[in-house]
Amino acid sequence: MYEVRHVEIHGHQVAYRMEGTGETILLIHGMAGSSSTWRDVMPALAERHQVLAPDLVGHGRSAKPAGDYSLGAFASGLRDLLDVLDVDVATVVGQSLGGGVAMQFAYQYPERCSRLVLVSSGGLGREVSWLLRALSLPGAELVLPVVAPAFVTERGNAISLWLRDHGVKGGRVAEMWQAYASLSLSENRTAFLRTLRAVVDPGGQAVAASDRLYLTESMPTLVLWGDHDTIIPVEHAYTAQAALPGSRLEIFEGIGHFPQVEAPDRFVEALVDFIGSTTPAPAVRSARSR
């Protein structure tokens, strides 16, 4: 896997992986995840493009400060990262929470977003996994240290990596387990709960982008989903396509919440074809300046 680099932004360390040359693809991971979720697709994508995969603040190897973990804060943080790395514009790809961040980024900084790709994306409806709704309840801080002890997660992490390395089709399980394993650390749990409660409440997803999707009508958009997604239902993919009539929809049969891990070759094929067959959106002024 490509080496993790660090850059300091506003006094905090931000981790990222970047390889390749050409038009930039910005890959945004999901909640409790990290840039490692893109490990199986980065090499092929980097053959044609410059690929940038950060660890969002509060995730992976980036700093985990007490602060704002809203979608807007993540979007502005990515804008700052692009500035530091001298990247003017990118095709923005977001998975799960990252999809919500990607939509927010496209809304706040349309001049920096040439295309939008939503993968099993949050922010398109209320429905979400019962577990995430339960963890948004008060008192989760007391439960997580019990259900995610370090000795359990270390052993389970080793098993999930062994399965993946030996070709066992456990990509979905391995990815979910790595997210779970990260919660054995106190600072990770705190950042996770701050992030979760910014977008999910006991009734479901609390943040919706449907009323602002029209702002990306001129932006080439790909919606990609697995029809076996048990975290965010595939029906949300059809909701997004209906709100964006010019968008492209790809449904992966038999795939769950992590298409980039469960079907990496097909994921790369779909993304490369989308980029190669669409014209980047024209630069426009930021929606916030209108």
Residues annotated catalytic, as ranges: 96, 229, 257
Number of H helices, E strands in the chain: 11, 10
Of 39, 18, 11, nearest to 87 (Cα)?
18
Of 131, 59, 47, nearest to 101 (Cα)?
59
Instruction: Quote the CA–CA distance of 4 and 19 in Å, as a whole number.
Output: 11
18-50 core/surface letters (b: 16 or more CB in 10 A; e: else):
bbbeeebbbbbbbbbbbbbbbbbbbbbbbebbb
Instruction: Quote the CA–CA distance of 236 and 227 in Å, as a whole number.
Output: 11
Structure token digits, residue 137: 């309840």
Whether 96 contacts 129, CB under 8 Å: no
Is residue 54 within a helix (H) or strand (E), and if so which, with residue range?
A: strand 50-54
Q: Check residue 86 and report its DSSP letter.
A: T
Structure token digits, residue 275: 């980029």
Structure token digits, residue 19: 């390889």
